[in-house]
Amino acid sequence: MNYCAIILAAGKGHRYSKTIPKQYTVLDNELIINHSLKIFSEINSIKKIILVVNKPDFNKFRTQIFKNKKIEIVQGGKERKNSVFLALNKIKNSNYKKIIIHDAARPFLKKELIDKIIKLSKKHEAIIPCISNTDTIVYKNKILDRKKVLSIQTPQCFSYKKIFLLHREFINNKFSDESSLFFFKNLKVKIIKGDHDNIKITLKKDYNFDNQISYGIGYDIHRLEKNYKLYLGGIKIPHSMGTVGHSDGDPVIHALVDALLGSKKLGDIGTLFPNNQKFKNKRSTYFLKKIIKLLKEKKYVINNIDINIILQKPNLKNYKKIISDNLAKICNIDSKKVSVKAKTTDRLGNIGKNKSIACEVIATVSNV
């Protein structure tokens, strides 16, 4: 069975901001609207995605919107119900039996929930995900049993024919979403367990956009040879051999740069600093300083750096703190936020035979 998804993104969201509609706010380096577009685009049985927008707002962010051949743009209406009906009208001559409707302001939707809804839709005309409430519920001075009161989420799935007819019948009435039409008409609705992470962003307090923590992983390895210098974390380490590389072959800084870039999807060291004459024999501290400047420009801050240097020789016991202090200075952070560890491989492999040195780094970065 083929499905059509309708993603609603035409609202102004004045409760969130009077300047930028919430669906165009950046979340984890992506517009909020893109999170839903991407996950629905990955579902094979969803053949079309109707993205309902307010075109003047949409056009301001058009270049940043996720592109996919499934997506078709439709101008929204005055209210949510009008926007849905316009989308339903757009595909009335198509052969879609089932429709999935989702709010773009729910960017934390997981593929597992969509898959579950699609599976159940083969037996049910309406599927609604709901979550339980943890707060005390009061209605007209009476405490309700919160176990019997559920909060409705999207995505919601319906028979196209049934939801189209209901919309047409009640288009001049007030209703909050499509599920309310089914409940009002006493039609059968399959209620399934939703996801507490699948929150709808309505107010700025719904999600702390000012402290989005991201994680990045970096790894690098260089072979050791005589007549080369050994730099680890920007510090020259006395040793009979050094690392071979296009630059100074510092595996610690190379892995750190990739971890920082990866945390915010900013590329990788090979893309930003390719193996050409411009960067030949450059000190790796040059690369790290450039990345720190980039993070500052984008208003990101480093929370923590965890470094694991893997080598057989030399012993770094007296250099770990020096490396940590040096990296903290370059990154403009407290040295307590930089952990440097050294591990051997118990003489296993090329590293154990003192033929190479590797490094792995995990970095956490957040918005200012």
Domain 213-367 has CATH 3.30.1330.50: yes
User: Residue with structure tokens 């049910």?
Assistant: 124
Which pLDDT tens digit goes with each residue over 216-271? 999 999 999 999 999 999 999 999 999 999 999 999 999 999 999 999 999 999 89
Which pLDDT tens digit goes with each residue over 130-175? 999 888 888 888 888 888 889 999 999 999 999 999 999 999 998 8
Of 351, 352, 359, 355, the C-alpha closest to 225 is: 355
> Using 50, 70 and 90 to split pLDDT, how confident is the model at 16?
low
CA dist., res. 296 & res. 85, Å (int): 45
Of 316, 318, 303, 305, the C-alpha closest to 343 is: 316
- How do the domains of the chain map onto residue ranges? 3-208, 213-367
pTM: 0.63
Asked whether the beta carbons of 134 and 146 are under 8 A apart, the reply is yes
CA dist., res. 176 & res. 44, Å (int): 30
Q: Which residue has the higher pLDDT, 210 or 170?
A: 170
The identity of residue 36, as a single letter, is S
CA dist., res. 70 & res. 39, Å (int): 12
Which pLDDT tens digit goes with each residue over 52-82? 999 888 888 889 999 999 999 999 998 999 9
CA dist., res. 331 & res. 35, Å (int): 31
Superfamily of domain 3-208: Spore Coat Polysaccharide Biosynthesis Protein SpsA; Chain A (3.90.550.10)
